[in-house]
Structure 1
Amino acid sequence: MLFSKLCQVATYTSLLLIGSSVTNAAQATQAQLANQGRTVHMGIILFPGFEPLDIIGPLEFIFSVSEKFPIKLYMIADQVGAVSAVPPGRAHMAGPQFLATHTFQNTPKLNILLKPGGMGDISMVEAGNTVIENFIKQRYDELDYLMSVCTGSVSLARAGVLKGKRATTNKRLYNWVTSNGPDANWVPSARWVEDGKVWTSSGVAAGMDMTYAFLKMFYGDTVNENFNTLEYAPLLDSRTDPFAIVHNVTGRDDGNLTSCVTPAGF
């Protein structure tokens, strides 16, 4: 009964329309054309215990789009070198590692900064480690956009950049994250939220839906071709958040379950 109302079923006929929706994409705005013509400098923050999909999902889409538009990527951590996704105290887990190319001290000027989440967020908050928050505060004014996935919004909140802004986060850890940002306007039912230059998403896989919405806003409908090549069908309505129900988030709006996944650009 719970999941019977989560989405409407797309028909086979509607799926056939994807080809024409890409071919007849709307003209890019002046801002999108300007973004298409410039080199974008993007940073992704790494820390022990990051959630792999928070990075890998958005990064796959960014990598694909960079075939058309120049993007310089900086993987940023406390030190250059390998950073493990295994959080402290969980050495039994399989340990994917990402390579940090730059530190918080030597990263060039950025246009976009992405903060992933992960169980390491809890460890850093409990240890009183504010190196990420300090970096976000230092770079916030220079950024065109600041993004977070999952519990990554806890760093934005603790950095003070969510004050008075609408934001969302992982729904399983919703109470923990929001307790660290009492001055933010937290949205309990949202796949992702945009407020000015700050974009935040719900848990883990939601970062991919946010990334589609962001890249489409930033570059225009031309990114639909990339997403369809990758065979990823993003949620198109930011209000669609079944996991607010699954995790029984206080203040959720069950009426916002409006659609299921559809091909990009449909």
Structure 2
Amino acid sequence: MTTLHRAALSLSLLLAASGCRGRDPSRAALPESFTAVDDRAPAPRRVVCLVPSATELVFALGAGDRVVGVSTYDDFPPEVTRLPRIGGMTNPSFEGIAALRPDAIVGVEGPTDLTALRRLRSLGIRVVVPRVESIEEVLSGVDLFGRLLRRAPEAAALRRRIASELDAVRARVANRPRPKTLVVLGRRPLVVAGPGSWIDEVLTLSGGANVVTAGGRYPTIPRESLAALAPEAILDLTGHADGAQLQGELDGVDLPAVRNHRVTTLSDPMFLRPGPRVTEAARQIAAALHPD
């Protein structure tokens, strides 16, 4: 799977998680039973992960050896490439999951619908699906998975590390001018990061100012509106390997970012995955916006 395909799939997951595909009743807020952990139950030994964000959390807690199946979209850490695939976010293979004999299934709220989660639970398997659409929710997800996996000390250490590394990024950019930044997530149509989105939060922490201030968390905007936005920097998160391609596409538009060659490609899908690698995402965005 190419970087472009991985980024496109990660964007689909992000849009689904943030409710940008409309109000589907099967994707309403999950009942507490899917977001709580029974501390009296034994620690799971065989875990299936429904989405990459959940997989990365489990591995970050040092419990990757318990993962027996992952989604079609998983590509990190490298060990997951050797694991069985159990389908996608909306079409998990129930038979494939059952064959792996898991005693826990983990995901994140949004990408997997409630109907699928209920069917998975009907197999007699614990299903834990927290909401992770902000940095604070990622930290809460660390705690929740730490309890589920009986890795509470590791969860506390991971939480401290994430908070400390994000504080270091904040300190690095604290006294610097914040360039007006456009974050491009899709090209045709032009999908961008809007206010209140995961990317918007990481961008702000990393020393940027989002030029998109209305239209929802992941709006589609006409190219004709770019001149009025006048971004001073553009971050291309679409997964295209060649950042010059987007620069070339925008050469006909009078934008400060284009004139000053401040169009940067960041192609790793981690930028679109709320999870433990938020620290690396923040560092790379800060370096792109404040290279000196």
The answer to whether TM tops 0.5 is: no
Q: Higher Cα Rg: structure 1 or 2?
A: 2
Q: Which has the higher helix share?
A: 2
For Structure 1 versus Structure 2, the TM-score category normalised by the shorter chain is: under 0.3
Q: Which structure features the higher share of strand residues?
A: 1
Tell me the TM-score normalized by structure 1: 0.24
